[in-house]
Structure 1
Amino acid sequence: MYNERLVVAVFHFLLMVLSSGLVVTLTYRVFIGANPDFHMGDEIRNGNVATGVLVAAILYGASLIMMAGTQSAVEMFRMHMLAPGEEGESLFKLFMLILAHMGVSLILAVISISTTLRLFGRLTRRELHAGNELKRGNVAVGVVLASVVIVSSLYVRDGVLSLSKALAPQPSFGHIQIEK
């Protein structure tokens, strides 16, 4: 039992290390080029603090959402190690399920953050063109956009956690028969 718990703990650690690298790399790549108003990477290189604050919040928000997917992945692995199910259930199938959960979490993170930023931009376009203000280095706009990303990520994280738990395979305990 101790060995299985140790294997699960090491798996959890390695999954978190892998996830952190994955979420930082992919989220940065996706969002740096996705801004229709300007290239965020160039603005960060030029010292635009407002853009830097927004990118930091995007990375933080995406990692919050991604962690929800990793939580169910670790639970699936723990269940497989501590209470193995059917003989036909393979580690390959388990790892494919884990990769699917991680992939869905990452896709939901990108879609939800992108949608939130675009929706906020459309809602405030008349009085404030956030993209232009961000490009000019308006730190107040960067902080507001960062707050929007973090708030939406907190809510989406909870939804992703619930969804991934619902999609995770559940153990079966066999048939229970009550005799008279």
Structure 2
Amino acid sequence: MLLENVIVGLVQLVFAIVLAVLALYIGFSVLNRITKDIDEEKELAKGNVAVGIVVAAVFVAIALVIESGVSGLSAGISKALALGIFTPDGLIVVGLAVFQLVLGILLSVGSIYLALTILDKLTKGVKEFEELKKGNVAVALEMAGVIIAVAWIIQSGVIGITAALA
């Protein structure tokens, strides 16, 4: 039984790491699309702190949401083990837990895109992306706050899904 739990734990860890790296890659790619005229990699190489703040906020936001999805996956696998992981009920529980994690990734990336797009529309007097390219740290902090706040709210929704599945 102990060996089985260790193996299941290792599988969960590897699965979570793979999905986390994938989600961070997707998040960085989406940020590149949102920021249009900014080459984040070049700006980071030049030492643009403002761009670094926003990139870091995107990574933190994705991690916040994914963490709740990974917790749901762990709970789902534990429940599936109790039911019999290869029984129809066990497989359904694992499937729902994986779905929840994937949903969390999609929601985090989508919410970041939506939040930055709406912020850009709401603040007509400030062109956030142009200011970001100039290295405006105040604008970067504003954007980072919006990104993390939205992720925090999305995380609550993913946790709610976990509670419903438990």
Query: Could you state the TM-score of these two structures normalised by the residue count of structure 1?
Result: 0.78
Higher Cα radius of gyration: 1
- Matches of 2:49 and 2:142, distance apart in 1: 13
Paired residues of 2:120 and 2:127 also in contact (CA < 8 A):
yes
Paired residues of 1:43 and 1:51 also in contact (CA < 8 A):
yes
Partner of 2:51 in structure 1? 51
- Matches of 1:136 and 1:77, distance apart in 2: 47
- Matches of 1:80 and 1:5, distance apart in 2: 12
Partner of 1:143 in structure 2? 141
* 1:129-155: CA deviation from partner (whole Å, max 9, x where unpaired): 211111111112112211221122112
Partner of 2:9 in structure 1? 9
Partner of 1:18 in structure 2? 18
Q: Which runs of 5+ in 2 are unaligned?
A: none
**More displaced 10-residue stretch of structure 1: 26-35 or 38-47:** 38-47
Query: Which residue type is aligned with residue 107 of structure 1?
Result: L
- Matches of 1:137 and 1:87, distance apart in 2: 55
- Matches of 1:29 and 1:86, distance apart in 2: 36
* 1:107-129: CA deviation from partner (whole Å, max 9, x where unpaired): 10011111111222222222x22
Query: Which residue type is aligned with residue 100 of structure 2?
Result: H
Query: 1:34-49, aligned counterparts within 5 Å?
Result: 34-49=34-49
Query: Which residue type is aligned with residue 57 of structure 1?
Result: A
Structure 1 pair 137/30, CA: closer, same or farther in 2 (3 Å)?
A: same
More helix per residue: 1 or 2? 2
Structure 1 pair 105/114, CA: closer, same or farther in 2 (3 Å)?
A: same
Query: 1:77-156, aligned counterparts within 5 Å?
Result: 77-84=77-84, 87-89=87-89, 91=91, 93=92, 95-126=94-125, 128-156=126-154
Q: How many residues align?
A: 166
Partner of 1:64 in structure 2? 64
1:6 Cα offset (Å):
2.8
- Matches of 2:111 and 2:29, distance apart in 1: 16
Structure 1 pair 45/86, CA: closer, same or farther in 2 (3 Å)?
A: closer
- Matches of 2:83 and 2:157, distance apart in 1: 27
Paired residues of 1:33 and 1:39 also in contact (CA < 8 A):
no
1:86 Cα offset (Å):
8.7
Paired residues of 1:32 and 1:41 also in contact (CA < 8 A):
no
* Aligned-residue identity in percent: 24
* 1:26-72: CA deviation from partner (whole Å, max 9, x where unpaired): 21122223323433333223321101110110011011111222211
Q: Which runs of 5+ in 1 are unaligned?
A: 171-180
1:16 Cα offset (Å):
2.9
Paired residues of 2:72 and 2:101 also in contact (CA < 8 A):
no
